[in-house]
Amino acid sequence: MILKRFADYAAGLATAGLSDSVAHAAKRAVVDWFAAMLPGGLQPPATLLIEALADTIGRGGALLYPSGRSTDARTAALINGAAAHTIEFDDIFRDALYHPGAPVISAALAAAQARKRDGKALLAAIVAGYEVSNRIGLAVNPAHYEFWHTTGTVGTLGAAVGASAALGLDGQRTLHAMANAGTMAAGLQQTFLSDAMAKPMHAAHAAEVGVMLALAAEKGVTGAVDILEGPRGFGAAMSKDVDWQAAVDDLGKSFTIERMTFKNHAACGHAHAAVDGVLALRNKHALKPEQIKRIRCGTFAKAVEIVGNPNPKTVFEAKFSLPYCAAVALMTGSVRTDAFRKDRLKDPKLRELIAKVEVVLDPKIDAEFPKRRAARIEIETVSGERFQHYASTRKGDPDNPLTDAELEEKFLELVEPILGKAPAKALLGTLWRLETVTDVRAIPAVVPEARAGAAQ
């Protein structure tokens, strides 16, 4: 039974211990999670969820960020999970079309805080959640991704594993938490096409349900243990021709958490290779917006579908608009958070440049999706020059990863404006030494009192 293999592995990971390289990879994931989650915690839907669930705030063993207010583990997982997926800067397991950090770390940390677990236990729980859910995501995709948002669906299973491991559940109880997670998994891609808060709510739901099911399993609540491979199960209903055995063949031998993508741009990952290509040509040829006649971005079909919007009207739509991202990259040299200020959306010069961006299907690039996310960029100038660049992968992907120093730079860029310079560096130092933390409630990620008004 596939689910039992996963559950026994997850339950045994705490005592098996982590190698130095796997532990370091997990800490990189935690650093990146805080980098994305802290600014997301100051925005809707996280801020609205705090208002909606006000009766749960101020009591419980888990923490909300960046305010540091106490709440129960389920609410912390829900709100922090939404925050982690809001600014579109959270991690990716490329081959599974999946953002594991938002659901898994949100759930594992909330459960670990509620039980006053140490940093070693948290790291093991995170690795368990990543290893199981990354493999499930890989097994069901790309067919699953036709309609489903993997972060909401597979993320529910990952969150259940992470929370179960953080609670210290045995294999049998972890099995039933996962079994129920398989039937409560949800998240439709229609949300990608709407200017709504539903996409981060997928991660929020996954994280909260994962914690709830782990707590329920701890008390004996059972689930259908053949939920993955059964004839009316997850694989049959939400994918096709799933090879479940392949999903567990290298479990415990190869670690997917060592092959994560950490985003270098604050937008949907389907736009990143094209952005890298535009930046490469901009920097090589010192291109200016007034020189541009046309920018042609050849990419894969899912990118054309999801980020092909030529006329984004909101910040959310801009993050899912390759024409916007390509244009702002050429104009400013960066597609970080500053690229998505509301005033930029109305910039007439940027709008003029956006209209010159063409997004087209490149069959050769599409044939390599999802294991390779490439883009072919051609820029034609008003003087008739033509420049081309093939971005064979994205900066931040495992074959072109962010270094620890680059990951730190991203972290500080996002966190310093919230916590302040010294507290941000202190938090970063603690996260790199997470295995030494004796109680994960003590992670210093709470906004200073002088800034607390903005963090509520």
Boundaries of every domain in the chain: 2-259, 269-391
Whether residue 454 has pLDDT greater than 60: no
Q: Cβ distance 248 to 2 under 8 Å?
A: yes
Q: Max Cα separation, the chain?
A: 72
Question: How far is residue 338's CA from residue 323's CA, in Å, rounded to a whole number?
Answer: 17
For the chain, the distance separating the N- and C-terminal CA atoms, rounded to the nearest angstrom, is 46
For residue 138 the two structure tokens come to 């890989």
A 10 A CB-CB count for 310 gives: 13
Whether residue 1 has pLDDT greater than 70: yes
Range in 182-196, 374-388, 437-451 with the lowest mean pLDDT: 437-451
The CATH topology of domain 269-391 is 60s Ribosomal Protein L30; Chain: A; (3.30.1330)
Domains 2-259 and 269-391 share a fold: no
Q: What percent of the chain has pLDDT over 70?
A: 98
pTM greater than 0.75? yes
- pLDDT-based confidence at 15, cuts 50/70/90? confident
pLDDT of residue 446: 84
How confident is the model over 29-67, as pLDDT tens digits? Answer: 999 999 999 999 999 999 999 999 999 999 999 999 999
Whether residue 357 has pLDDT greater than 70: yes
Q: What is the CATH number of domain 2-259?
A: 1.10.4100.10
For range 294-315, the mean pLDDT: 97
Amino acid at 331: M
pLDDT of residue 456: 43
- pLDDT-based confidence at 449, cuts 50/70/90? low
For range 343-360, the mean pLDDT: 96
pLDDT of residue 72: 98
Looking only at the bridges linking them, the beta strands covering 62-63 and 70-71 are antiparallel
CA Rg value for the chain = 21
